[in-house]
Structure 1
Amino acid sequence: WGKLQGKNNVLTYDPQVVEALSAEERTKRVEEAALLDLVKTLVTAVDAKDEYTGLHSNGVSDMAGKLARQIGLDEEAINRVEVAGMLHDVGKIGMPDSILNKPSRLTDDEMAIIKTHPELSAQIINSTSLKDVVPAVRSHHERWDGNGYPNGLKGKQIPLEARILAIADTYDAMITDRPYRKGLPVDDAITEIKRSAGTQLDPELVGHFLALFSYRNTKKRSAAAREKRPEANCKVVANS
């Protein structure tokens, strides 16, 4: 029971506190722990190969999970999207370091090599017990207008979870520093996401993505209004 509660702790046995787990529940927890370890191992391998990719994958996973939750997907689907975000670039393990860490823009030939990574990622994941995230990973570079890769899927031919991943991937790629450029400010990245709605990205999902930032925009508008009216910042001090 101590191990199930996080390990590395000492507990006093109390039959009213310790819940009995069925054989099915124990098996499920073991499988979940094994999957989590597998994900961590794959992500660590990517991070060792390319620090940017490792950091980027964490950002994509976080944003993809938030967007999946925003549109009302169930917890199982949200978890699947988050795992897909962590592993979407795992195929870059097979990319040459000279390409991954190039301090300038890639040539057409180098870009052609990079474009093979969704399929490589899918192949690696397909050899594990995480097969349910393969569709999202394989198709996260497909475009709403059909001009993406690897299969040129269009619109809702692209799996929903892949469309979610595409937005999260595009956003995080823009705000993260790369060897050849600094990351964009968040507001500039949001503007680019808006511009890509209906061409690169699912326009309906972009609307949900923008809603995630509505509180941020409201705060900015309020701050701007206060700057225009300095008296709004004044404090009334009572006489002593």
Structure 2
Amino acid sequence: MNRNSNDPEDIADSLDSLESLEELSPQSEVLKHTFVSTSQDVPLVMRPFVNSIFPVLLINTDFRILYANGACNNLFTGYFYLQNSLFFDVFGKSLGTEALKDIRAAVLYGAHGYSWKGSIKTKTREAGTLQTKVYLFPIIQGNQAPDNFIVLFDDVTEENKKLLQSVFISLLEASKLKDNDTGKHIVRVNFYSERLAKELYNRPGYEEVDRDFIEDIGFLASMHDVGKIGTPDDILNKEGPLSDWEWTIMKEHTKNGAFILSTYPNPMAREIALNHHERWDGTGYPFQLEGEMIPLSARIVTIADVYDALRMKRSYKEAFDHNTSIEKMKAWRGKNFDPALFDIFMTIHGEFERIYADNTDEDET
């Protein structure tokens, strides 16, 4: 790019060529060039960003949003209305008190070279969680204090999600080496749990089931038995019934799993590992919780896990077909299973049969 050019295409290209907004700083040559305006006309100032791949908006010293490009409007669709709104009214709750103070100091008093860098995390039931890095820079006009500021956003939602999941996928792979349950078992439990959660989304009484809940349980259900990584192999893989002492050791996998997952930012991971063997009537383990004391995520995974366990061949039992499995589960309504949740499961149990058929190991057929 020609650094002496004021051509909007050159400016936009220079921004879009960056691999990451992390390359930007108040001293960035791109920014020094880009934010020099020869006109007070807002459309001219923002012309380079109209078709930018980076979400960008323009604010003034009154913190009013003067312009948001298409990428910015697309990013925040379902979360915020941007046009002609006040920046703090839109993003205030997502930023937090300290960040708001720092932004005010940058814009009004020139702190940190009239610049600020931070992050925003926001959520709606329909759209889920959105996490972005945020960069605020002044539009430089000679030696004058800036009147307008560029705010750039970098969506890191998927990046952060994949980073977190990669850590626990490693744990999951390690636990699979110890357990004779097939890898397809945990895949199916994920699918069953996600499908049942989707069924709850539009039903009254299940407001906690939002887009994040559905997506999270579709991954975290597979972690329900990760605590078995601490269970002795001779107990875990024993053919035939366990002794009372062995059964006591086996049941510790719920607590072990909760400990392993205790640092995971989403509490659902720990909830599922700890509580998926609790029963609605209070006769489960490890704490004999009953009814709605058991987290909804664990109640969902309980139905998914039991269904798949019935369908699978184990060292101590033959595999049951779908209809036999459903009949057995009916007897446990209100005992093992949340009765209202089980009734909803019964409206879609045919889809569990399809999931099983589509995700079966060769040695299970």
Normalised TM-score (structure 2): 0.52
Say whether 1:182 aligns with 2:321. no
| 1:28 maps onto 2:62 in alignment | no
Distance in 2, matches of 1:216 and 1:64, equals: 10
Specify the code of the residue in structure 1 equivalent to 2:158: R
Q: CA deviation at 1:216?
A: 9.2
Greater shift in the superposed pair: 125-134 or 34-43: 125-134
Which residue in 1 is equivalent to 2:99?
none
Query: Which deviations, in whole Å up to 9, do the C-alpha atoms of 1:96-137 show, x marking residues without a partner?
Result: 111111121212211111111111101001133444421232
> For the structure 1 residues 48 and 18, does the alpha-carbon distance in structure 2 shift closer, same or farther, using more than 3 Å as the test?
farther
- Relative to 1, partners in 2 of residues 1:16 and 1:190: Cα closer, same or farther, differing over 3 Å? farther
Q: Hey, what does 1:55 align to over in structure 2?
A: 184
Counterpart check, 1:67 vs 2:188: no
Tell me the residue number matched to 2:270: 134
Distance 1:46 1:37 in 2: 14
Alignment of 1:160 onto 2:194 = no
Provide the C-alpha distance between the structure 1 equivalents of 2:349 and 2:264, rounded to a whole number of angstroms. Answer: 36
CA distance in 2, matches of 1:195, 1:188: 11
- The 1:17/1:209 distance shift into structure 2, 3 A limit, reads farther
Q: 1:188 to 1:19 in 2, by over 3 A?
A: farther
Q: Is this contact kept in 2: 1:35–1:130, CA < 8 A?
A: no
Question: 1:47·1:55 contact (CA, 8 Å) conserved in 2?
Answer: no
Residue 238 of structure 2 corresponds to residue 105 of structure 1: no
| Residue in structure 2 matched with residue 93 of structure 1 by the alignment | 229
Separation in 2, partners of 1:18, 1:89: 46
Does the residue aligned with 1:177 lie in a helix, a strand or coil? coil
Residues 18/178 of structure 1: CA separation in 2 closer, same or farther (3 Å cut): farther
CA distance in 2, matches of 1:90, 1:216: 23
Query: 1:216/1:40 Cα in 2 relative to 1: closer, same or farther (>3 Å)?
Result: closer
Match of 1:12 in 2: none
Give the C-alpha shift of residue 139 in structure 1. Answer: 1.1
Would the alpha carbon gap of residues 55 and 96 (structure 1) be closer, same or farther in structure 2, given more than 3 Å must change? farther
In 2, Cα distance between the equivalents of 1:92 and 1:114?
8
Aligned structure 1 segments of 4 or more residues deviating by more than 4 angstroms: 15-18, 214-217
Distance 1:92 1:68 in 2: 25
Structure 1 residue 41 and structure 2 residue 153: aligned? no
1:215 to partner: Cα distance: 7.5
**Unmatched segments (≥5 aa) in structure 2:** 1-15, 20-48, 56-131, 135-153, 202-208, 354-365
Task: Tell me the percent identity.
Answer: 33
Note the C-alpha offset of 1:83. Answer: 2.7
Q: 2:219 matched to 1:83?
A: yes
CA distance in 1, matches of 2:352, 2:217: 24
| Amino acid aligned to 1:200 | N
Tell me, yes or no, if structure 1 residue 148 matches structure 2 residue 182: no
Q: Which residue of 1 aligns with 2:251?
A: 115
Instruction: Name the one with the larger strand percent.
Output: 2
Aligned length: 205
Q: Which stretch shows the higher mean deviation, 195-204 or 126-135?
A: 126-135
The code of the aligned residue for 1:191 comes to E
Q: Distance in 2 between matches of 1:17 and 1:184?
A: 58
Q: Is the 8 A contact 1:102 1:180 kept in 2?
A: no
TM-score by length of 1: 0.76
Q: Spell out, residue by residue over 1:163-202, the C-alpha distance to the aligned partner (whole angstroms, 9 max, x if none).
A: 1111111111111122333221111111111110011111
SS of equivalent residue, structure 2 residue 337: coil
1:222 aligned residue: none
**Contact 1:39-1:83 within 8 A present in 2 as well:** no
**Which residue, out of 301, 308, 315, partners 1:172?**
308
In the TM superposition, what is the alpha-carbon distance from 1:143 to its structure 2 partner? Answer: 0.7
Contact persistence 1:104–1:179 (CA under 8 A): yes
Q: 1:186 to 1:34 in 2, by over 3 A?
A: same
Distance 1:214 1:97 in 2: 35
